């Protein structure tokens, strides 16, 4: 076997550069002739997870749905949940009512679905009845008569006491008089009060008798006066008892009528009993006898006495046949999520009551499904922690944000917690889920079901037909013009390009939907009855043109020799690498000159990008692999005696990824062998330590980026791109690239190994070791090994330490 020969890689045939859609099994002219697909395609794994997660009724089995935003996760999950929820019983209604014993702790009451508004209306009707019934009862003749008899009895007892005292005073020469300061005793004669002058004219004996009688009767007067408050209290107690009896008779009938509609709900009956007791206990307030401050104390928010008996309907099912609720909260702040307590400014203070309790999304979704965006939830302060507390406690507790962070001092409410029975569905991208899973162990405790939506599907006759039906559904849903057969084929082909794989089709339906809408706009502008392939192609071109300013500026810099890129000739230690830039969702390929310099040294390959802190860790890893390749291929009997530097020329931003590692290795081999590399072939691909060229991403954009430059300078027929053989299956190149390759004006070469690549780039065989372990003379590998042996001899001759040739080895040499 000739070990000097390495087969020159052949260019790919045009049919391998672009895979056409095969719709031969489908007979249609436009999408109007296709039966639209119902639901989604290619998401069996995710659909099974959603179906399982929505049906299992155990704590912790909530759903976390992950995937690309354009995968239509939300519409798909919502459609599935809608079917599931329709078969479920609607949840109960919840209301908050006043707690007459502890007003700061409103009472939560559950009612059968749809009954809460009836209870609210019944209580409103009760209040309206009592507004009339109570005043009428207390204005009735019976009440006035009974009240008058109580007042008369009090007046009589008081009058009799003072009459008896007045009689005693008269017999002792005194008279009982009423003054502004109260009752008093004064000396009298012939029933008339004696003036002080006249009293002083009396003899001493008579004056002493009068004074003695005054002292005795004053004690009696004091005793009578002290009895007056107790008699007044007795009167008030009798009036209060009378008021209660009258109120009980006036209220009981209305309360009983209200109870009749809720005999099946014990909590309502208990609350109505409390309402009746409170009405009877506080009847003066409701008939206008209380002072304003007393009325305000009963209801600090509104000051209306009867409002304390109203009902705050928190959540209700308007249609008892609607099934379980499905609620999507787009702004999951703490208040929007778990509810909040509102306040009103009154007389310079913030006050609240049970009627100002507002529901959150969890209340509205309780008994059904709550859909949340994970990123929005995590970016809202306190919301994620509050959600986990609810799931752990299995109840909804309305919490004040200020109290949670230790700043609250306002008197507020403590509403009854409500039992939690909701299925939470979180939506997010994969990276967010994996990060959250790594840093928050509680995630797996509360979200045990993962629904991972695929980004693409294997391409075949069946999947292409399914994609055609999906496009028909998109057209129908959006009310667009039907798409012609060739237009459907182009969309399927574009779906493969979006998937970065000719053997797959993207499932990111929203991106296809946007493209179809743009093409529909172009078709309508042109007056077409259906969207054609040309309309879709025009939409693709316009979309690229809108986003390609940076690409055009980059190419312009190359054409003006501001960025140095050669597309002809050959250079030692210089090669054109290919990179992909992704800016705002638009990707384009950009050629970059890569150069390498070598000299004797201590076996170190210096990554200048890393030294300048512009290289990312993956790129640095790729460069370090080059050292492993060189050592494994050329330093079998001794140490590596090489100092090499590799750099991306005119690169002023960060460099990441290992897709240029094969190009860097070609540049090193060229510099060591002193053999020039073709500049009309650009290279992409990563390499391992065994010299195998590995697949990379963005292969279509990389090829097209170099093709655009070569076309601008003029295609010579020798230009092309060398790609990993593993990437051939991903090729879905632009039509102009494929056409140029078919005409022999451009070429795409599949490369399996570094030996194949260096043969293509230099025109010289790479060479394989013979049985004696030597590379054949004149081969690239022989030239490289000879140069490395020369470097080793140089180091031995001058001395490793004295010559300082290894001075570049320093403490940060290790990765």
The closest alpha carbon to 656, from 688, 618, 694, 612, belongs to: 618
Nearest to 515 by CA among 550, 554, 551, 544: 544
> For residue 691, which of 644, 645, 755 has the smallest C-alpha distance?
755
Is the four-CA dihedral 303, 309, 313, 319 of positive or negative sign?
negative
Q: What is the rounded distance in angstroms from the CA atom of residue 8 to the CA atom of residue 757?
A: 9
Within a 13 Å sphere around the CA of 762, how many CA atoms are in the beta-carbon half? 31
The pairing of beta strand 574-583 with beta strand 586-599: antiparallel
Q: Which residues pair with 175 in a beta bridge?
A: 186
The three-point CA angle 784-789-791 to 5° equals 95
Backbone angles phi and psi of 94, in degrees to 5: -130, 140
Residues in Cβ contact with 66 at an 8 Å cutoff, skipping those fewer than 6 apart: 427, 428, 429, 430, 432, 433, 450, 451, 452, 453
Residue 269's contacts (CB-CB under 8 Å, 6 or more residues apart) are: 259, 262, 263
In what side-by-side order are the strands of the sheet with 586-599? 604-607, 643-648, 586-599, 574-583, 681-683, 720-724, 747-751
Bridge partners, 506 (sequence order)? 456
* Tokens found for residue 126: 């009760």
Tell me which residue of 456, 459, 387 sits closest to 423, measured CA to CA.
387
Q: Which residues pair with 456 in a beta bridge?
A: 506
DSSP β-ladder status, 182-189 and 192-193: antiparallel
CA distance 45 to 64: 14
Element (H, E) at 787: helix 780-798
Instruction: Please state, as a whole number, how many other Cβ atoms lie within 10 Å of the Cβ of residue 132.
Output: 11
Nearest alpha carbon to residue 178 among 168, 190, 189, 165? 165
Q: Please give the torsion angle defined by the CA atoms of residues 436, 441, 443 and 448, in that order, rounded to the nearest 10 degrees.
A: 120
Structure tokens that stand for 172 in this block: 């002792």
H/E stretch holding 470: helix 461-478
CA proximity to 13, closest of 728, 566, 810: 728
569, with CB counted inside 10 A (0-12, 13-18, 19+), is exposed
Cα atoms in the Cβ-side hemisphere of radius 13 Å centred on 180: 0
617 SS3 class: helix
Q: Could you give the residue numbers annotated as active site?
A: 659, 702
Nearest 5 degrees, angle CA 758-CA 760-CA 762? Answer: 65
Output the CA–CA distances (angstroms, integers) from residue 792 to 573, 624, 628, 779, 806, in the order listed: 21, 21, 18, 20, 12
Give ∠ CA 167-169-172 in degrees, rounded to 5.
115
For 775-784, which contacts have Cβ atoms below 8 Å and span 24 or more sequence positions?
776/3, 776/4, 778/4, 779/4, 780/669, 780/673, 780/675, 781/633, 781/634, 781/755, 783/672, 783/673, 783/674, 783/675, 784/634, 784/669, 784/672, 784/673
d(CA 569, CA 555): 20
Return d(Cα 584, Cα 106) in angstroms, integer.
52
């Amino acid at each position: 076997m000739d070990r000097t020969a390495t087969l020159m890689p052949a260019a790919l045939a045009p049919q391998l550069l672009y895979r056409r859609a095969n719709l031969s099994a489908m007979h249609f002219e436009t999408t109007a002739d296709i039966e639209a697909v119902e639901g989604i395609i290619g998401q069996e794994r995710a659909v099974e997870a959603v179906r399982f997660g929505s049906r299992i009724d155990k704590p912790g089995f909530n759903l976390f749905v992950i995937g690309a935003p354009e995968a239509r996760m939300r519409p798909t999950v919502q459609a599935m949940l809608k079917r599931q929820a329709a078969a479920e019983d609607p949840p109960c209604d919840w209301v908050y009512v006043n707690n007459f014993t502890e007003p700061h702790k409103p009472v939560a009451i559950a009612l059968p679905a749809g009954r809460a508004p009836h209870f609210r209306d019944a209580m409103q009707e009760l209040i309206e009845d009592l507004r009339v019934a109570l005043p009428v009862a207390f204005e009735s003749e019976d009440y006035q008569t009974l009240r008058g008899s109580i007042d008369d009895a009090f007046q009589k007892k008081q009058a009799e006491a003072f009459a008896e005292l007045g009689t005693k005073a008269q017999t002792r020469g005194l008279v009982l008089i009423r003054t502004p300061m109260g009752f008093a005793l004064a000396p009298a004669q012939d029933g008339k009060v004696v003036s002080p002058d006249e009293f002083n004219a009396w003899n001493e004996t008579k004056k002493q008798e009068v004074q003695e009688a005054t002292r005795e009767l004053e004690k009696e007067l004091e005793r009578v006066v002290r009895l007056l408050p107790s008699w007044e209290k007795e009167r008030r107690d009798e009036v209060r008892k009378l008021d209660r009896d009258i109120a009980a008779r006036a209220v009981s009938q209305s309360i009983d009528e209200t109870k009749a509609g809720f005999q099946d709900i014990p909590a309502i009956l208990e609350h109505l009993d409390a309402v009746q007791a409170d009405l009877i206990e506080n009847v003066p307030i409701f008939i206008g006898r209380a002072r304003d401050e007393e009325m305000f104390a009963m209801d600090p928010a509104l000051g209306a006495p009867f409002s304390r008996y109203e009902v705050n309907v928190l959540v209700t099912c308007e249609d008892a046949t609607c099934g379980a609720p499905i609620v999507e909260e787009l702004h999951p702040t703490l208040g929007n999520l778990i509810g909040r307590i509102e306040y009103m400014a009154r007389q310079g203070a913030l006050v609240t009551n049970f009627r100002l309790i507002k529901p959150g999304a969890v209340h509205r979704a309780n008994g059904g499904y709550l859909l949340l965006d994970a990123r929005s939830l995590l970016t809202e302060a306190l919301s994620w922690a509050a959600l986990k507390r609810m799931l752990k406690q299995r109840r909804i507790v309305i919490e004040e944000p200020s109290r949670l962070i230790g700043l609250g001092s306002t008197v507020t409410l403590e509403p009854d917690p409500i039992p939690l029975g909701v299925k939470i569905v979180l939506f997010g991208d994969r990276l967010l889920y994996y990060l959250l899973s790594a840093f928050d162990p509680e995630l797996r405790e509360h979200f045990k079901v993962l629904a991972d939506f695929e980004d693409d599907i294997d391409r075949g006759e069946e999947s292409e037909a399914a994609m055609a039906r999906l496009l028909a559904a998109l057209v129908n849903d959006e009310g667009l013009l039907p798409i012609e057969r060739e237009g459907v084929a182009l969309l399927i082909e574009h779906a493969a390009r979006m998937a970065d794989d000719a053997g797959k089709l993207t499932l990111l339906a929203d991106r296809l939907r946007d493209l179809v809408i743009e093409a529909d706009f172009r078709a309508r502008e042109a007056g077409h009855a259906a969207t054609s392939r040309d309309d879709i192609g025009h939409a693709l071109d316009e979309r690229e043109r809108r986003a390609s300013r940076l690409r055009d500026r980059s190419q312009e810099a190359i054409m003006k020799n501001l960025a140095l890129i050669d597309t002809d000739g050959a250079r030692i230690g210089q090669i054109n690498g290919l990179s992909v830039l992704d800016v705002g969702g638009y990707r384009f390929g950009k050629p970059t000159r890569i150069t390498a310099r070598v000299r004797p040294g201590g076996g170190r390959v210096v990554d200048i990008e890393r030294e300048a802190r512009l290289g990312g860790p993956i790129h640095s890893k790729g460069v370090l692999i080059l050292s492993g390749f060189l050592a494994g291929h050329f330093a079998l009997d001794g140490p590596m005696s090489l100092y090499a530097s590799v750099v991306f020329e005119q690169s002023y931003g960060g460099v990441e990824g290992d897709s240029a590692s094969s190009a860097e290795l070609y540049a090193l081999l060229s510099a060591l062998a002193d053999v020039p590399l073709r500049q009309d072939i650009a290279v992409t691909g990563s390499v391992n330590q065994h010299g195998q060229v590995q697949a990379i991403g963005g292969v279509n954009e990389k090829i097209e980026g170099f093709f655009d430059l070569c076309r601008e300078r003029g295609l010579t027929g020798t230009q092309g791109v060398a790609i990993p053989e593993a990437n051939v299956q991903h090729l879905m190149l632009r039509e102009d690239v494929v056409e140029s390759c078919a005409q022999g004006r451009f070429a795409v070469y599949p490369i399996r190994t570094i030996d194949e690549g260096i043969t293509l780039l230099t025109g010289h065989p790479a060479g394989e070791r013979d049985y004696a372990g030597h590379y054949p003379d004149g081969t690239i590998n022989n030239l490289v090994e000879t140069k490395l042996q020369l470097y080793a001899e140089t180091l031995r001759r001058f001395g490793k330490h004295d010559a300082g040739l290894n001075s570049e080895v320093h403490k940060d040499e290790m990765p």
